[in-house]
Amino acid sequence: MRVLLHTIIRSRLNHEGYLRSYLAFVKPRVVITNEDNDLLFYRIPDLLPDCTTIAIQNGRRDNYARHQLGGFFEMLRHLRETRPVSVSVLCTFGTAVAQLYRDALGTGGIGSLIPIGSLRNNAVAPRTTSGLQRLVYVSSMPNFELGMDPLATDVFAFYHGKPISPHDYWSIESSIVREAATFAANTNRKFVILGKRASRHPGEYRYYKEILREQEWEFVPANTHATSYEAIFADDVVVSSDSTLAYEMFGRGIRTAFISARLAIPGLTQYRDCDFGFPLSLPRKGPFWTNETSTTEIHRVLRFSADSTSAEWMNASENHRKEMMLLDPGNGIFCEILKSLNVANTGPHLWPQHLVPLN
């Protein structure tokens, strides 16, 4: 309340005004965020020069934007033109994404860039083999119960200033699911869909039920922050367009197929934002990835992911895994970062079940 009152008295009742007042009262030594795409966070070193800031990447990053002015990286570049922006320590999934942050923050804008992988992925113990042949699709659907209609044709987002509708953006989900379910049936595999939403939001399940109709499949809702990680076994084959969870499983060494064609349906393939491995300059097709939605291409990628030998899979994927998603079970690297800054922590460990929040 004192901070809020201070903000009101100084007539700056907005996000930045509140932050300024908070920093003035608390004078924190270290500020950590898991919202690495919060523009205002990068203003803190200028507002409180003696404060160390740590930003932790929490999702796949590209130039997706909710308005025509641009997405996170473009807005950060614009902000840099008028105000100092920087971060003391930037913790990323891997080295591949580093250039996007460097371009946005400019020379000297990043004190240290340290790949740590995904905090959540590192904190959940991997499953052993299930002994079953399963093809697992990772859903990226929106929350239907909050009013988002994936079939709508109005403009809801932009890529490099080009408009895209919900229908165009999410059509890739239904295309992959139909072909993946067919491939699973033809190869005697169990087909599983990992939901992005909890069971109390049934719209996602109903959407896939309409697509798959009489086919056999299983739906796993994401009821906790760890459910989807715990639902994947070491011998599963995972398929997705571009979900963060799929990249996390890829980082674990699990066979993962990427149908990276989200921008193909709206005709925006000149932009590579949703391509596998973005912003790396990789071929648009590879052994386990493609940016096409044809039946032939999807089945080719699934076949390699499912049937290649261990040596073939390792040769095709190992270098890319290291660049895109570091794996650090227990988050030892991050604990060392905290230790170096004299921030007390419990040390590397996995996520205790009683501390895992509900979705």
Query: What are the tens digits of pLDDT across the range 35-50?
Result: 999 999 999 999 999 9
Q: List, for residues 303-351, the tens digit of each pLDDT value.
A: 999 999 999 999 999 999 989 999 999 999 999 999 999 999 999 999 9
Global pTM?
0.96
Whether residue 268 has pLDDT greater than 80? yes
Whether residue 10 has pLDDT greater than 90? no
**Arithmetic mean of pLDDT, 262-278:** 95
Check residue 46 and give its pLDDT.
95
Q: Whose structure tokens read 């290649």?
A: 308
For CA atoms 29, 31, 32, 36, the dihedral sign is negative
Residue 90 pLDDT grade (very low, low, confident, very high; cuts 50, 70, 90): very high
Measured distance CA(99)–CA(135) in Å, rounded: 33
Would strands 52-56 and 30-33 be described as parallel, antiparallel, or unpaired? parallel
Whether residue 95 has pLDDT greater than 90? yes
Instruction: Tell me the three state secondary structure of residue 173.
Output: helix
58: how many CB neighbours lie within 10 A of its CB?
Answer: 17
Check residue 87 and give its pLDDT.
98
Both tokens of residue 163? 């408009």
**Arithmetic mean of pLDDT, 293-312:** 97
Of 250, 252, 222, the closest CA to residue 238 belongs to 250
Name the DSSP class of 42.
Answer: G
Domains annotated on the chain, with CATH = 2-116 (no CATH), 125-324 (3.40.50)
Measured distance CA(172)–CA(239) in Å, rounded: 12
Distances (CA, A) of 144 to 147, 150, 155, 178: 5, 8, 17, 20
Check residue 119 and give its pLDDT.
97
Whole-number average pLDDT of the chain: 95
**Side-chain-side CA neighbours of residue 37 (13 Å):** 15
Whether residue 275 has pLDDT greater than 80? yes
* 172 and 243 Cβ atoms separated by less than 8 Å: no
Whether residue 5 has pLDDT greater than 90? no
> Tell me, what amino acid is at 157?
A
* 172 and 297 Cβ atoms separated by less than 8 Å: no
> Tell me, what amino acid is at 253?
G
**Arithmetic mean of pLDDT, 77-99:** 97
For a pLDDT cut of 90, what percent of the chain falls above it? 91
**Arithmetic mean of pLDDT, 288-308:** 97
**Arithmetic mean of pLDDT, 169-175:** 95
**Arithmetic mean of pLDDT, 286-310:** 97
**Arithmetic mean of pLDDT, 186-193:** 98
